[in-house]
Amino acid sequence: MAEGVRPRVKAPKSAEAGEVVVIKTLISHKMESGQRKDSDGNVIPQSIIHRFVCAFNGETVLDVEMHPAISTNPYFEFEATVPEAGDFEFTWYDDDGSVYEDKKSVSVG
């Protein structure tokens, strides 16, 4: 697992049933593009987070395929419908096989 990777998620703690809420996510990651060279002139291999998924109670909100053109410390902002009380699940997939997860519970009513 890449060192010091930490996700941050901003989601409301409560919502009305059916309400559309704004979600923001940020994760610390170098997103090594594969285009840079080290001081000896060797290409530093690509090592990025290549996929991000947000789901609510198992149903997909957003599924993003990511390329090296996504900036260091990837940021996403998007909207989600909250049909009922439950959990937002956030998952980031790293090229090195690591999977980073976060979860935010939302109450309804």
Partner 1 sequence: MRFKAMTAVAALMLAVPGVVSAGPDDDKLVINGEIEMTTKAPVPEHMEDTNMDQIMSGWHFRSDETQALEMDDFDNPGMIFVDAGMEQWNTVEGSEGNSCASCHEDPSSMKGVRAVYPKWDADAEEVQTLAMQINDCRENNMGAEPYGYTSGQMANMEALISLQSRGMPVDVAIDGPARETWEQGKELYYTRTGQLELSCANCHEDSYGMMIRADHLSQGQINGFPTYRLKNARLNTVHGRFKGCVRDTRAETYAPGSPEFVALELYVASRGNGLSVEGPSVRN
Partner 2 sequence: MDFTRRETLVIGGATAVAVTLPMPAMASAVDEKINEFTGGADVAEGGVELDAPEIAENGNTVPIEVSAEGASAIMVLAAGNPTPGVATFNFGPLAGAQRAKTRIRLAGTQDVVAVAKMADGSFAKTQKTVKVTIGGCGG
By CB under 8 A, name the one of 56, 90, 92, 100 that touches partner 2.
56
Q: What x/- string results for residues 30 through 69 when contact with partner 1 is judged by CB under 8 A?
A: ----------------------------------------
Which structure tokens are listed for 41?
């002139």
By CB under 8 A, name the one of 2, 12, 21, 28 that touches partner 1.
28
Is 67 a residue that touches partner 2 (CB under 8 A)? yes
Q: Distance between CA 86 and CA 13 in Å, rounded?
A: 10
The residue (of 6 and 36) whose beta carbon lies closer to partner 2 is 36
Q: Distance between CA 48 and CA 32 in Å, rounded?
A: 6
The sign one gets for the Cα dihedral 23, 26, 32, 35 is positive
User: What is the DSSP secondary structure assignment for residue 45, as one 8-state letter?
Assistant: P
Instruction: Using the rule CB under 8 A, give the single segment among 5-13, 37-45, 77-85, 89-97 that binds partner 2.
Output: 77-85
Residue 50's region, left for phi above 0, alpha for psi from -120 to 50, else beta, is alpha
For residues 78 and 53, is the Cβ–Cβ distance under 8 A? no
Residues in contact with partner 2 by CB under 8 A are: 20-22, 33, 35, 55-56, 59-72, 74-81, 83
Q: Which residues bind partner 1 (CB under 8 A)?
A: 4, 6, 8, 10, 24, 26, 28, 71-73, 75
